[in-house]
Structure 1
């Protein structure tokens, strides 16, 4: 501990009001979390609901902005494809900036105030979208939204993991993973109910952020963050609120474990970008990580989620795009819940391969349907259920593995000291691929039709399937040392 640290080593009962009951071990009973822990976790996850609803704006808001009816279109004229491409792609650029900066900002001001600041900022951005009457306002708002959304994803994930105990960290993490799909469904539902009022849709999507700010009073700062700043009394006070402790020795034991973990390994040599390319193991881990996230982006999932309503309105199916979007959102949420249970049963690699194959087949058949429809090759009355079948297969396939597992895998592929740098590089590539993907789709749709975009996604996914089959290792039940040995071959 630094010499100038003035943190008292004795507890003040006024600061941490816990009965003075002696205990020699941290029992399961005293590890239970208090109600304020659940309120804090819930309040943090509310931000992800708004981010998830923002992801489906191209489905629920953009059709209004492209409408010729000036009574409902706040722009007064239809949005052009190039304007749509710019709006969609600028968020990827700002997300990249956020990923590079937000972790440092969070370490500087804390998790709580980072989330509160991002919540206020996102409400302001939603308000700009609600009352904006020019496309340039949307471009600026989407640029800012990319920064805010990435920052929220970073801080909420870190915050929930740091306030959780070992026995509830897994399911709290699952709830974090479910918050974005729940936000997608939230946006789809209200987009279907209010399908001609941009202002009302934007304000409703901002409501989870507003509720987060109302609950901010109950947010407890992360004990891990406080410990890293040598703020011992505040860390102990935070732990006393987050846990149902009955004695001082238990709270001291948890604080000590956090302190030991926080300051262990600080002497490890700094890992640079170039050091990742020096060994075969780190190069292979990096390339596999990039391949996983490229496959995730280029499977067509971001486009399907964003443009689900207009895609199915154009398809001329038996159900409207709004109804299908609600079906998709509900199914997506259910599959994400299922994925948390089956990933350790079947292993990472088999699930990834099955998932990628299902995505490739479903998106290719959907592209074939649009080709038949657009070129009047055959009557589509007899195959109108095909798009619905394709989207159900795609949702299940993507949700069981290609969506959730890549983030798990990149945490397993790198050595401890290389993980932060490796994830940072993969994130940069992810943002660049995402930006190119979202910019090109509206242009490609206008130039070549819906079917060509979907067929390209299907073909790229088949290529990814072959590469994953050849290079992706199975990490189920393997220690970090064993995984490194597999990568060295």
Structure 2
């Protein structure tokens, strides 16, 4: 019997437990390698965000820039990433998820070259704009590809990888600040920004060994190729056939069709998707509101303001030496990276919802603590040492609390709850909200804290985050263990029904344990 006849033959007998476990180890390894390769593109944003916090000190010294010019340079990359995210969804539906990742790497490489060779503010701004477009492509496509390649049992773990690499990039950017800080000012910042192009070029070649997303292949009618990828990435061949049947149903292809190549309904090639997103059904509207809110509030908590301006914040906290400020900044990067790694192991074990609510609660407490400590420093002629230590401690705890849930979970939720036909463009809307908020904070933070005081600004972030916690508590269902094709049914129920369903699922899980 040919490959295309598997569905007609029914599901074969379940193999022995030992063979299932061997297959599971093999497939999960393949899924993990593919997810890691796809997620490494997110390191580009992290590096460019982290390195700019220290590079700005030397750029200001070398090119004699004002604070408003520094704000523009810091924030413009996130504003311009909106353009990349807006086009990335449609382009990924056209050329595929994998080649869109390659495209993102090439664009970012060009931006890094522009920045490293920039003779003045204008050319530096051009480089940041080009790099921002590449970042927008990368942020949209990495979680989409990972969610579509991952089996349901490991999807939360794998789709949190983009946040892991964003944080790893931030840390590398901070380390780059330290490594090149001893050079003359006119050379140090150029190397800090320019070396970011090297990994992007390597990524463009490394990603070519990855398989294409099976859901994108089905959208193109390439069922035979999709089956081959699913067999490699699922825990068993039987699961692969079941997943293929679910995807076919989700995109409007009959389960009974067993050809390797079929004609797909026209709307699945990306046409009409924006119309469906702008005039959504109740379930799609609810998914969009949740997805966009997660991405928006993650940035509205003030995390990127802290990452981008951590040397300034530590200076306001009473740390005066440049080496001490950069050292404390590296500690922030280490803390973020460590705790987002912890989150990858917890998201599939304790679930998205409890991890997110705990994380957001911790962020609120830390923001209040940081604001209070900064208020003591700001109103003291000679800041007490305990207040300075508390500022640093609350900053580290803030990034730890954020990274353990608030950072990675929007990418997990956003990439898994949207229907397959809307996923690429739908995620691009959430990413656009995330980058817009990040860009606005980056371009206004210095002016904001001068107007509200540094402590007033962080009290404001705490209030916004408290509102986010209440919204998440009222509106987010648990999606752990659900297949991507089950999500639409989950969100088509009312809030009260999914809460009852969630309680029932939790009771069943407790009984099994």
TM-score range relative to shorter protein: 0.7 to 0.9
Q: Secondary structure of 1:66's partner?
A: helix
1:117 to 88, 103, 106: 103
Distance in 2 between residues matched to 1:419 and 1:47, nearest whole Å? 19
1:103 to 89, 113, 137: 89
> How far is the alpha carbon of 1:462 from its aligned partner?
3.1
Are 1:37 and 1:243, in contact at CA under 8 Å, matched by a contact in 2? yes
Distance in 2 between residues matched to 1:437 and 1:216, nearest whole Å? 32
What aligned pairs does 1:85-484 form with structure 2 within 5 A after superposition? 85-165=71-151, 169-195=155-181, 196=183, 197-216=188-207, 218-231=209-222, 254=240, 258=244, 261-262=247-248, 264-266=250-252, 272-273=276-277, 275-276=279-280, 279=282, 286-317=288-319, 320-343=324-347, 348-376=352-380, 379-410=383-414, 423=427, 425-469=429-473, 471-475=474-478, 481=489, 484=492
Deviates more, 1:29-38 or 1:429-438: 29-38
Number of residue pairs matched? 454
> How far is the alpha carbon of 1:393 from its aligned partner?
1.9
> How far is the alpha carbon of 1:126 from its aligned partner?
0.8
> How far is the alpha carbon of 1:256 from its aligned partner?
8.9
Residue ranges of structure 2 left out of the alignment (5+ in a row): 5-11, 253-264, 498-513
- 2:257 maps to which residue? none
Residue ranges of structure 1 left out of the alignment (5+ in a row): 1-8, 12-22, 68-72
> How far is the alpha carbon of 1:82 from its aligned partner?
2.0
TM-score computed with the length of structure 1 as normaliser: 0.77
> How far is the alpha carbon of 1:151 from its aligned partner?
0.8
Distance in 2 between residues matched to 1:293 and 1:219, nearest whole Å? 27
Distance in 2 between residues matched to 1:299 and 1:449, nearest whole Å? 17
1:53 to 38, 41, 47: 47
Deviates more, 1:251-260 or 1:191-200: 251-260
> How far is the alpha carbon of 1:261 from its aligned partner?
1.7
Q: 1:348 to 1:216 in 2, by over 3 A?
A: closer
Distance in 2 between residues matched to 1:291 and 1:260, nearest whole Å? 28
> How far is the alpha carbon of 1:48 from its aligned partner?
2.1
Distance in 2 between residues matched to 1:338 and 1:427, nearest whole Å? 23
Q: 1:377 to 1:357 in 2, by over 3 A?
A: farther
Distance in 2 between residues matched to 1:370 and 1:47, nearest whole Å? 36
Q: 1:486 to 1:63 in 2, by over 3 A?
A: same
- 1:66 maps to which residue? 60
> How far is the alpha carbon of 1:376 from its aligned partner?
3.0
Distance in 2 between residues matched to 1:286 and 1:222, nearest whole Å? 22
TM-score computed with the length of structure 2 as normaliser: 0.74
Distance in 1 between residues matched to 2:287 and 2:147, nearest whole Å? 24
Are 1:102 and 1:151, in contact at CA under 8 Å, matched by a contact in 2? yes
Name whichever structure is richer in helix by fraction.
2
RMSD: 4.0
Q: 1:317 to 1:486 in 2, by over 3 A?
A: farther
Q: 1:148 to 1:263 in 2, by over 3 A?
A: farther
Q: 1:468 to 1:420 in 2, by over 3 A?
A: same
Are 2:39 and 2:142, in contact at CA under 8 Å, matched by a contact in 1? yes
